[in-house]
Each structure stands twice: as C-alpha cells, then as structure tokens.
Amino acid sequence: MTTVPPASLPRRLYTLLVTDHLLIFLVCILLTGLVSIPLSAYQTTRPFFPAESSLWNVYKGDTIPTALVFVVHYALLTPLIYHFACVTRLSSPSTLALGLPSATMIAVLIVEMGKGYVGRLRPSFATVCMDAAPTKAWLDLPSILSDAACPAADKKLLHDARRSFPSGHAALAVCGAAYFQLCLMRALPKMEGSFRRLALYSLGWGAMLWAAYVSASRVFDNAHHVSDVAVGMIVGLWTARVHFLFVAGEIDRERATKED
C-alpha cells in the first residue's frame, strides 16, 4: 500500500490562497479600500434640490449594523457550510465554505464602485446638508451644486450622504444568504433522513428571510431609497450565483483529477 507524501509548503500556500479563494477575498478588500478613498476626484457630485421632499427624511440609525451582517455570515453561515459539507461528504468542504467570504467581498467591491461613481443622494441628504429641519427659505432655493454650499460642517458625513446607490447592506446580506442556500442545495440530496433534509431546507430559507429583513431595514431607517435596496439585492444574488458556479466548477475539476 502506497502512502501519499505530504504537500510541500509552496503547494499548501497555493491551496490556501487560490483553491480556497482567500486570495480573491484579500484582493477585493484591497480594491474596495482603493475605490472608497473619500477624495472629490473619486466621488460623483450631483446637485441637490431642496424642494425634493424625498431627501428630507431623518436618518434613524442602523437597525442592523454592517458589522453584525459580517459576523452572521463569517462566524455562523461559513462554519455551517463547512459542517454540512463534511456531514454529507461533499468534496473540498473548506473550498466550498470559504467561497462565501470571497463572494460577499466581490459584492461589496461592486457596491463601492457604484456608490462612488453614481453619487446618488441618500433620503436624509437634506437634513445632513442643511443640518436642521426644512424652512421656506431653503425650500425656495433652486439648487445647491456642491457640498461647499451646505451649512453642515461635517464634510465626511456629507460625503457619505452622497453614497446611496446601491445599498451595501442589501448586497452583502443577500449575497451571503444566497450563497449559503446554494451550498445547502448542493448538500441536500446527500443528506440522510427526512427531518435533517427539512432542517437543511429551513435553514436556507431562514438565511434568505434574514437577508430580506436586513434589506428592508435600510428603507425604514431612511438610509436608502427603495430602488437602492432593490439593485443591491440584485447585485448580491448575481454575485452569489456566479461565484458559486466558479467554486463548484473548481471543486468538480479537482474531484475529476483525483479520480483520474
């Protein structure tokens, strides 16, 4: 009986960075940081019309903080994918599980590019710009062409108030939940026992309901317009689907190589 020698250090590093898609995750973080630099050259500035009533909503704060979405995805859903992949004896469970962080970071990168280059005003932009409730004098103004014309002193807050489209919360939440559900669908046919299959099925839909709640919260928090959230959800679904196909293809090729 022959034994397989342990992989060399370069091969283990390759497996860690490429096969498990951590390289994609790290590159996306780097690129997201580059496109998020708060400089005027990277930010599309659209004129503000005080008479537009949809921009005078008061921001209520984040019902679901961004950090909580990352925690749910990385500390809960990713380990669950690995667990169910191992239980159902799927090939390369670590590759399948670590596809979730890389998929979500691709979605975040797409969102950050959209926020900077679209420059849509958030529903609370007027209250940030004027730093107060609306008055007739302000409502009669034809337009404000730049942040310099806003009485608000917090220019960093003004910069963020121009980054409404698309919704990052929606894209992140839906991408992670959709990828999680796709992984469970891959494991479902191999799960033994009707109760376990029902539990697995329910987990997938539970994750999607969580993502829907996160997305809806951005509207009633007055952080985004409905269309921002809708497009963010589409970005999340599309990214999850495309990246899952990429990861599944890598796993299938690896399995076919081992069988040969």
What is the average pLDDT across 12-33? 69
Q: What is the pLDDT of residue 180?
A: 95
Measured CA to CA, the distance from residue 212 to residue 222 in angstroms comes to 16
Q: Comparing 8-17, 104-113, 163-172, which segment has the lowest mean pLDDT?
A: 8-17
Residue 9 lies in a domain: no
Residue 115 lies in a domain: yes
Question: What is this structure's pTM?
Answer: 0.85
What is the average pLDDT across 231-253? 91
Residue 175 lies in a domain: yes
**175 forms bridges with which residues in the sheet?**
none
Residue 116 lies in a domain: yes
Using the predicted structure, report yes or no on whether residue 133 has a pLDDT greater than 80.
Answer: no
Q: What is the pLDDT of residue 4?
A: 36
Q: What is the mean pLDDT of the chain?
A: 83
- The total domain count for the chain is 1
Residue 98 lies in a domain: yes
Greater pLDDT, 252 or 67: 67
Q: What is the pLDDT of residue 40?
A: 47
89: Cβ–Cβ under 8 A, 6 or more apart, which residues? 190
Residue 219 lies in a domain: yes
Residue 18 lies in a domain: no
Domain extent, residue 187, equals 60-122+155-259
Dihedral sign from CA coordinates of 58, 44, 104, 178: positive
Q: Comparing 41-55, 157-171, 242-256, which segment has the lowest mean pLDDT?
A: 41-55
Q: What is the pLDDT of residue 138?
A: 67
Q: What is the pLDDT of residue 111?
A: 93
Residue 246 lies in a domain: yes
With contact defined as beta carbons under 8 Å apart, do 251 and 186 qualify? no
Kindly write down the DSSP assignment for every residue of 177-202, as one continuous string: HHHHHHHHHHHGGG--SHHHHHHHHH
Kindly write down the DSSP assignment for every residue of the chain, as one continuous string: ---PPPPPHHHHHHIIIIIT-HHHHHHHHHHHHHHT---GGGS----B-TT-GGG-PPP---SS-HHHHHHIIIIIIHHHHHHHHHHTT-S-HHHHHHHHHHHHHHHHHHHHHHHHHH-PPPTTHHHHHHSS---HHHHT---B-SGGGSS-S-HHHHHHHT--SS-HHHHHHHHHHHHHHHHHHHHGGG--SHHHHHHHHHHHHHHHHHHHHHHHHHHHTTSS-HHHHHHHHHHHHHHHHHHHHHHHHHHHHHHHHHH-
